[in-house]
Amino acid sequence: MQTFVAVLMWLLVASLLILRRGRAERSITYAAVTIAVAMTINVDAVYQPLDALLGGSNGATLIGDCALMVGIFFLGRGIMKAGEYQPGPVRIALGPTTLLVALGGVVVAFLLIDRGATTTNFMIDLGAQPAAAAYSMIQFTYYGLVVGTMAVLASRQYRLSTGVQRLPAGSLVVGALLGVIFCVVVLIMDIAHLVGRVDVMSAVSIAYAPLYLLTFLFLCVGLAGQPTVRYLRARRRATRTRSLVNELSPAWRAATIVRPGLSQSDAAPVRTEGLEAQLHRQVVEIRDAMIDPRVTFSLSARDRLVLEAAERHLLGGDRARIHEPVGSATRRESQQGAK
């Protein structure tokens, strides 16, 4: 299970490095890397030799758990920064002060544990100690606080989103809610172990593995889904922009013949500027030629439809017809005019 989650997290890291490259806000990427490191440390094949290097007293447990807390901190901060909803309680829950207090409590509790030799079942072997119970409970109280706040933020993102954009936000909501339940399960197990109710701990532990896996799965899907949706939308918009530039070029060339504009006096930038800027220049120069009383210029019905489609596209309002050929739009409007 630990190996699967570690692999899942490194796949998330790879996808974020590809899809979020160039973005100034990198909290989500930092979170994914830190959590991936923490999950890797928890893999038995990595944990045992690493702990041996650290003296064989389970010091690798503290390193991995602190890394996970820092990763969850960055995750919460990244989701908070993605939206404008940042009330005081949210900033406190996801703030550095709360993290530092939790980390301080974890370190103190860990130092009080009689840890013995290296064990890959840290809480199962040592959880009956009050210090070990406190160590785990501080962590999962912090996790529960952060992922619960993430659920609130993600649910607001879900309400404000439309269409396919709701899928990543919805996945984050589900993952965060599962995370809260997972934290509650661990807290119950810690308390049951501490008071000697091993039967209760065993009964509740049935939910541990599926909640653990599902929490990470839904969170990873949500985190990878957001940049993926943005990337696909950007590619789709670029394709549409290129198509409109090509379709509008004949009318634009005709317009600049009768009314030379910046395209003739500054030809080099036209060839090197982005597609959006080129389309904007075409629209402006065609419109200028249409309203200039000194020249005679008009568009065919089809070219007028292309021009209007380009204007809607530049204003961001052309999504509904993004896959529709201009020719089909021309036929439909012609049919409506004939009725």
- Which residue's structure tokens are 């840890």? 115
pLDDT of residue 337: 38
Q: How many residues does the chain have?
A: 339
pLDDT of residue 86: 79
H helices within 195-207, ranges in order? 198-204
pLDDT of residue 22: 62
- Which residue's structure tokens are 């005709």? 254
- CA distances from residue 29 to 33, 175, 297 in whole angstroms, order as listed: 6, 18, 53
The amino acid at 295:
V
Please say whether the beta carbons of 62 and 120 come within 8 A.
no
Return the H-helix or E-strand segment holding 214: helix 208-258
- Spans of the chain below 50 pLDDT: 265-272, 318-339
The number of CA neighbours under 13 Å toward the Cβ of 82 is 24
Sign for the pseudo-dihedral over CA of 318, 321, 324, 328: negative
Q: Give the predicted TM-score (pTM) of the model.
A: 0.75
pLDDT of residue 330: 37
Please say whether the beta carbons of 229 and 168 come within 8 A.
yes
